[in-house]
Amino acid sequence: MKRRAFITLLGGAAAVWPLAARAQQPAMLPTIGFLGSGTPAAHGHWVAAFVQRLRELGWIEGRNLTIDYRWAEGSSDRAAELAAEFVRLKVDVIVTYANPMVVATKQATSVIPIVFAAAADPLGTGLVAGLARPGGNVTGLSAQNTDLAGKHLELLRDLIPGLRRLAIMANVDNSASVLEMREVQAAARTIGLEVTILEIRRAEDIAPAFEELKGLADALYVCVDTILFSHRIRVNTLALSARLPTMLSVSREYVEAGGLMSYGPNFVDLFRRAGDYVDKILHGAKPGNIPVEQPTKFDLAINLTTAKALGLEVPPSLLARADEVIE
């Protein structure tokens, strides 16, 4: 289904997401607590894919299933409060994504099943004990960000053949971001790039980081993170002002917000597959026995408007490989 169709599918539901739908439904209905890392406007098409898959599996919201939606808007503190609220409500399953959200949810409960629709390196960051047998109450789908470091740099060099100096921006309070930063740093040094690390911990650190960077880099690599995602327009605006091409490690939403290029898992597909996890759990499967799965679909997105603003000519061979070209 096309993205526009997904957004249409959610149209009616979006208006009532802030409300606790559970109070309006019979108590016996299974309840999913959906904890979003951002906002409905940013992530609604992902959620629509999840809800659509549940419908295909026979779970109809309002008929035999209740979904309570909460949105953390990029805040780990807010995520902890919302996860605790789901525990008080005694929901049957919590669905979330992005490592800080998964960590907050895991800290809130060791009993309620948790499904992550996308998490970066869940084994390396300690979210699960193993991929084949996650153990505990957590399972889901891996985004495999760390495995893509070399591919990201390969694409960046295809676009900027003279690339010599790379800046890497990462939230050092996010374990997934730190792991990715180290992988990118190692891959960059292997191919002879000079590396500058820009550490952030909060949104207020973004602008000062760009001030530090002046004249020190030919391109910017932005690691996966909820804060950086929530402030992606600011990141892209500052990067464009600094004449810095950007490689955004995961989602095309960065590119739609003015970033130059991204390569990563197809999140619509991951969220769709999360519906299968919930279906299994609602039918009695234990999350610790359901293997963590990896992405099977990847997207390359390129923003030609941004490329032109930076004076870059995108090679036809790279354009031919792109899944989405924004003009």
The residues facing 246 across adjacent strands are: 220
pLDDT band at 26; cut points 50, 70, 90: very low
Q: For 260-281, what is the mean pLDDT?
A: 96
Portions of the chain given CATH number 3.40.50.2300:
3-143+266-296, 146-264+299-326
Residue 93 token pair: 């399953």
Residue 147 token pair: 């495995």
Q: Please give the CATH architecture assigned to the domain spanning 3-143+266-296.
A: 3-Layer(aba) Sandwich (3.40)
The secondary structure of residue 292, as a DSSP letter, is: P
Q: Kindly give the pairing relationship between strand 219-222 and strand 165-171.
A: parallel
pLDDT band at 16; cut points 50, 70, 90: very low
- Is the pLDDT score of 124 beyond 80? yes
Residue 135 token pair: 């153990």
Q: For 48-72, what is the mean pLDDT?
A: 97
Q: For 237-242, what is the mean pLDDT?
A: 96
Radius of gyration of the chain (CA): 20
Q: What is the pLDDT of residues 216-232, one digit of tens each?
A: 999 999 998 989 988 99
Q: Are 191 and 153 in contact (CB under 8 A)?
A: yes
End-to-end CA distance of the chain: 22
pLDDT band at 1; cut points 50, 70, 90: very low
Q: Which distant-in-sequence residues (6+ apart) come within 8 Å of 104 by Cβ?
A: 76, 79, 80, 83
Phi, psi of 19 (to 5 degrees): -90, 155
pLDDT band at 27; cut points 50, 70, 90: low
Fold of 146-264+299-326: Rossmann fold (3.40.50)
CA distance 244 to 232: 14
User: Residue 157 has what pLDDT?
Assistant: 95
Q: Are 51 and 5 in contact (CB under 8 A)?
A: no
pLDDT band at 18; cut points 50, 70, 90: very low
pTM for this entry: 0.87
Q: For 13-17, what is the mean pLDDT?
A: 43
Strands, DSSP E only, in 131-244? 138-142, 165-171, 194-200, 219-222
Q: For 240-267, what is the mean pLDDT?
A: 90
CA distance 85 to 155: 43
Q: For 62-87, what is the mean pLDDT?
A: 96
Phi, psi of 182 (to 5 degrees): -65, -40
CA dist list (Å): 158 to 52, 246, 305: 37, 13, 18
Give the residue among 54, 180, 179, 128 at the shortest CA–CA distance from 292.
128
* Residue 99 CB neighbour total at 10 angstroms: 29
User: Residue 250 has what pLDDT?
Assistant: 73
